[in-house]
């Protein structure tokens, strides 16, 4: 339920931002206005760093680097 509320809030904020940009006549791209969540971000959200060994952490960094 909370995740759905966060998603809805993000959508409303993104739409408000895009409307503001349209009214101002600017077409500048914004890093934070993306509606799609990058797969690397999803992977990080599911991660518990305290449970990783140093080798697992390094492997994960390489996986994330390849995703970007």
> Do 22 and 45 belong to one domain?
no
Residues of the chain predicted below pLDDT 70 = 17-18, 21, 24-35
Q: How many domains does the chain have?
A: 2
pLDDT digits (tens, 9 = 90+) for 8-17: 778 777 777 6
> Do 1 and 28 belong to one domain?
yes
Q: Rounded distance, CA 38 to CA 26, Å?
A: 25
DSSP H/E element including 68: none
The pLDDT assigned to 4 comes to 79
> Do 43 and 68 belong to one domain?
yes
Q: What domain range is 48 assigned to?
A: 37-68
> Do 21 and 8 belong to one domain?
yes
Instruction: Give the chain's mean pLDDT.
Output: 79
> Do 41 and 26 belong to one domain?
no
The pLDDT assigned to 54 comes to 95
> Do 23 and 2 belong to one domain?
yes
The pLDDT assigned to 62 comes to 94
Region of 57 on the Ramachandran plot (φ > 0 left; ψ -120 to 50 alpha; else beta): alpha
């Amino acid at each position: 339920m909370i995740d759905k509320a966060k998603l809805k809030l993000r959508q409303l904020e993104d739409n408000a931002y895009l409307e503001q940009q349209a009214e101002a006549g600017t077409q500048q791209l914004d890093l934070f206005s993306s509606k799609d969540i990058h797969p690397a971000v999803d992977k990080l959200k599911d991660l518990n760093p305290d449970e990783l060994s140093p080798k697992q952490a390094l492997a994960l960094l390489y996986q994330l680097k390849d995703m970007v």
